[in-house]
Amino acid sequence: MPELIIEASRTEAHYWRDLWRYRELLGFLAWRDIKVRYQQTVLGAAWALIQPVATIAIFTFVFGRLAKMPSGGVPYVLLVMVGQLAWQLFANAFGGASGSLVGSAHLISKIYFPRLIIPLSTLAVALVDFCIVLALFAGMSAWFGNLPTWRALLLPAFILLALLLALGAGLSLAALTVKFRDFRIVLPFVLQVGVFLTPVGYRTDFLPNWRDLLALNPMTGVVEGFRWCLLAADQDFYWPSFFSSIVWTVILVVTGLWYFRRTERLFADVI
Amino acid sequence: MSDTDVVIRAEGLSKCYTINHAAKPGTIREAVGHNARSLWSRFRRRGGAASNEEFWALREIDFEIKQGEVVGIIGRNGAGKSTLLKILSRITEPTKGRIRLRGRLASLLEVGTGFHPELTGRDNIYLNGAILGMTRVEIARKFDEIVAFAEVDRFLDTPVKRYSSGMYVRLAFAVAAHLEPEILIVDEVLAVGDAEFQRKCLGKMEQVAGHGRTVLFVSHNIAAVQRLCSRGIYLQQGRIVAQGASHEVIDRYLRDTSSPSGKSRWNYARRSPLIEVENVELLVNGGRQNSVPAGATATFRVRYRCPAPEKLPEGLECSFIVYGQGQKLVNFWSNAGRGRSFPIASSGVISCTVPEWPFRTMPMTLQLHLNYRFDNLVDLPDALAFDSADCDRFGTGTVPHITEGILLLPHQWGES
């Protein structure tokens, strides 16, 4: 018979084992979020397309046509699309994770399970939305004759990088929001500013003076990685931005997990 | 080997909440308004500022529960029952002390935790089951049983937001009732649903208890505790004041709540040598109770003794004032309306009957006034503490949520 000891600051011992035990719940919560998102909407999956398509169209027009930024031999719309693909994955995952705890207050105050499951489960919705836009990209890509190379096989690594980055940042923000509701304001701000500080609508290799500065943004490396994987014309890999992403991701995941685990046992008391 | 029978052992269990008086810790602006060091201490741990007050929801609780025991935890609101359950369910941590648990524990602090209104009944059975700790395989195995118990088979593929509240509660309880943990913790879930469903739930609980499983049961429904539980734990202000055989613990609880007969316990705001209050009681449908369901006939009764009735020739006026949710809800005053004074004997009883109790679920207190002409002889602010309870008054199978109003009143619709 399993024995359990409940004591102040004692959750640590069982935590990772519990997380594994509750993996089915993780699946169910993810499945719930996906199902609820697409149920009862007339257009269903089309909603996952409308917003990114609008953004892609506007960015293509503003950066490609008005500002006449160089595209490096790639149809401008594809350039923006890949940028949007990466950015949207991050933005949705980050947004979902950071709002997840407050959104699940009713569960937290009534049932025990490792709280890490809540932000983790929100990543699934971001991935589904991502796949829908990815399918659109595949079609457009074929239309423009941008055929995939072996580099596309490395895309999952960059998807993982984007998700980990979002999760790391999201964990801290989610835990902070439990106690300080005004951290909710951080999210729209980061997303609003981030979409311009990240080369979603332009490319950095034609901005030599700015390139290293932009590389400080962890999402720059992710977007450039996506382009390297998906755009046949993008041959050279820019390592500095990639390393920057890796370092940031490690820092954010470690601090995020640390702060989340530290504050987790008080969630039910303060939420 | 009595030690191996013990499935729950709590030692010195305490839980402290910090109540922040000066600033709600909810906004970081206020936290910044202090200084950086205090901000840092806020991040590091709860509080840190000077104006925090500690509130001990539980103090030094010790108890042991053996395998197969069905234990009722009783106590007034705020006695620490819910905190104890939350600690046992690992939702929150104790501040001090420890609990040793043996066996898989499932807790049911409310029915339908995690139900999503947009999802169908079928989906919610799986979701809720997973939240309560069942595996997918387990749920699939019990699926038909759950549906049959809830009597919702025709609506399985309807989103639960379209369910009546009765159906919703039935489905939610049905999922929970099919949990098979070694230790089950149940909080007040029987206070929902219509009378017939409540009977069904009680039956299910009895069945669960009969299978040698350990059950901890919190309820205001003393009758249910009496029927289900072999042992009782009575909490008052975070401490255990009695534990043991359930009927003894319940008796003690009823003595404390429904008629504080030891006169030293009365906390008079005013008293007079002319009249002495012996006890104050609540009768529901004729029997002594400490809980009155909406729609029932409630009688407040005061028994007095008067050493010198000849000094009160004009008789007494009596007033029963009911408080709930922090306000005066109603004053039953014998002199209101037609006006009435009661002739006084050397001892006697004055009662006031409310044919259809209108209030919904809430804890209440009763204040007693006895007046002679213009003089207030007796003012007893806490003459009685009791609970008002919901019930399916209009036989519709549903009870509106308490936020829809605190009264259940008979009414008629018409059109012309």
CA distance B118 to B26: 31
Give SS3 for B74.
strand
Quick one: pLDDT at residue A210? 87
Amino acid at the residue A243: F
Closest by Cβ to A3, choosing from B28, B100, B113: B100
Indicate where chain B has its CATH 3.40.50.300 domain(s). Answer: 2-11+59-256
**Whether pLDDT at A16 is above 70:** yes
Quick one: pLDDT at residue B51? 56
Quick one: pLDDT at residue B31? 54
Radius of gyration of chain A (CA): 20
Residue B88 CB coordination number (10 Å): 23
Quick one: pLDDT at residue A46? 79
Render B131-163 in DSSP notation, one character per residue.
HTT--HHHHHHHHHHHHHHHT-GGGTTSBGGGS
**Whether pLDDT at A89 is above 90:** yes
Question: Could you tell me the two tokens for B81?
Answer: 């029952």
Helix (H), strand (E) counts: chain A: 12, 1
Contacts of B398 (CB under 8 A, 6+ apart): B164, B165, B166, B194, B392
**DSSP code for A62:** I
Q: What share of chain A is helix, strand, coil (3-state, %, to 5)?
A: 75, 0, 25
Query: Which residues of chain A are within 8 Å of residue B126 when distances are taken between CB atoms?
Result: 28
Low-confidence ranges of chain B (pLDDT < 70): 1-4, 20-52, 77, 188-198, 220-221, 223, 255, 257-267, 326, 337-339, 397-398, 403
Closest by Cβ to B27, choosing from A5, A181, A270: A181
**Whether pLDDT at A128 is above 50:** yes
CA distance B173 to B199: 12
Question: Could you tell me the two tokens for B256?
Answer: 């404390």
CA distance B233 to B72: 6
Q: Which residue, A211, A180, A27, A183, is CA-closest to A94? A: A183
Better-scored residue on pLDDT, A1 or B71:
B71
CB pairs under 8 A between A and B: 113
B130 with A268: Cβ contact below 8 A: no
Q: Taking the model in full, what pTM does it have?
A: 0.72
How close A27 comes to chain B (CA, Å)?
A: 9
CATH code reported for the domain at B267-404: 2.70.50.60
Q: Is A25 on the interface with B (CB under 8 A)?
A: yes
Containing H/E element for A4? strand A3-7
Q: Which residue has the tokens 């939305």?
A: A129
On whether ipTM exceeds 0.90, the answer is no
How close B31 comes to chain A (CA, Å)?
A: 9
pLDDT tens, position by position, A176-204:
999 888 888 889 999 999 999 999 999 88
CA distance B92 to B78: 17
How close A28 comes to chain B (CA, Å)?
A: 6
Question: Could you tell me the two tokens for A202?
Answer: 């332009």
Burial (CB count within 10 angstroms: exposed 0-12, middle 13-18, buried 19+), residue A185: exposed
Closest by Cβ to A24, choosing from B87, B97, B135: B135
What's the mean pLDDT when you consider all of chain A? 89
Q: Which residue has the tokens 């729609």?
A: B295
Asked whether the beta carbons of A130 and A89 are under 8 A apart, the reply is yes
B28 with A183: Cβ contact below 8 A: yes
Q: Is B115 left (phi over 0), alpha (psi -120 to 50) or beta?
A: beta
B99 with A5: Cβ contact below 8 A: yes
Query: Which residues of chain A are within 8 Å of residue B109 when distances are taken between CB atoms?
Result: 110-111
How close B27 comes to chain A (CA, Å)?
A: 5
Mean pLDDT of A108-115: 88
How close B122 comes to chain A (CA, Å)?
A: 12
What is the band of A27 on the pLDDT scale with cuts at 50, 70, 90?
A: very high
Q: CA torsion, points A259, A260, A266, A267, in degrees to nearest 10?
A: 140
- Report the alpha-carbon angle A200-A207-A226, nearest 5: 35
Q: Is A34 on the interface with B (CB under 8 A)?
A: no
Share above pLDDT 70 across residues of chain A, in percent, rounded to a whole number: 96
Q: Is A144 on the interface with B (CB under 8 A)?
A: no
Q: Which residue has the tokens 């993810």?
A: A30
Q: Which residue has the tokens 């290799």?
A: A205
How close B398 comes to chain A (CA, Å)?
A: 23
Asked whether the beta carbons of B6 and B65 are under 8 A apart, the reply is yes
Contacts of B75 (CB under 8 A, 6+ apart): B81, B234, B235, B236, B253
Q: Which residue has the tokens 């005053």?
A: B333
Q: How many residues does chain B have?
A: 416
Question: Could you tell me the two tokens for B176?
Answer: 């929970």
Mean pLDDT of A133-146: 92
Nearest chain B residue to A182 by CA: give it. B27
Per-residue 3-state assignment (H helix, E strand, C coil) for B218-279 = ECCCHHHHHHHCCEEEEEECCEEEEEEEHHHHHHHHHHHHHCCCCHHHCCCCECECCEEEEE
Indicate where chain B has its CATH 2.70.50.60 domain(s). Answer: 267-404
Contacts of B16 (CB under 8 A, 6+ apart): B54, B55, B56, B57, B95, B96
Nearest chain A residue to B109 by CA: give it. A110
Domain range summary for chain A, segments of one domain joined by +: 16-270
Say whether domain B2-11+59-256 belongs to CATH 3.90.1150.10.
no
Amino acid at the residue B95: T
B17 with A35: Cβ contact below 8 A: no
Greatest mean pLDDT among A18-22, A41-45, B23-27, B76-80: A18-22
Q: Which residue has the tokens 């003595």?
A: B255
Q: Is A236 on the interface with B (CB under 8 A)?
A: no
How close B181 comes to chain A (CA, Å)?
A: 12
Contacts of A137 (CB under 8 A, 6+ apart): A78, A81, A82, A85, A230
Query: Which residues of chain B are within 8 Å of residue A3 when distances are taken between CB atoms?
Result: 100-102
Query: Which residues of chain B are within 8 Å of residue A107 when distances are taken between CB atoms?
Result: 113-114, 131
CA distance A193 to A221: 17
Quick one: pLDDT at residue A1? 65
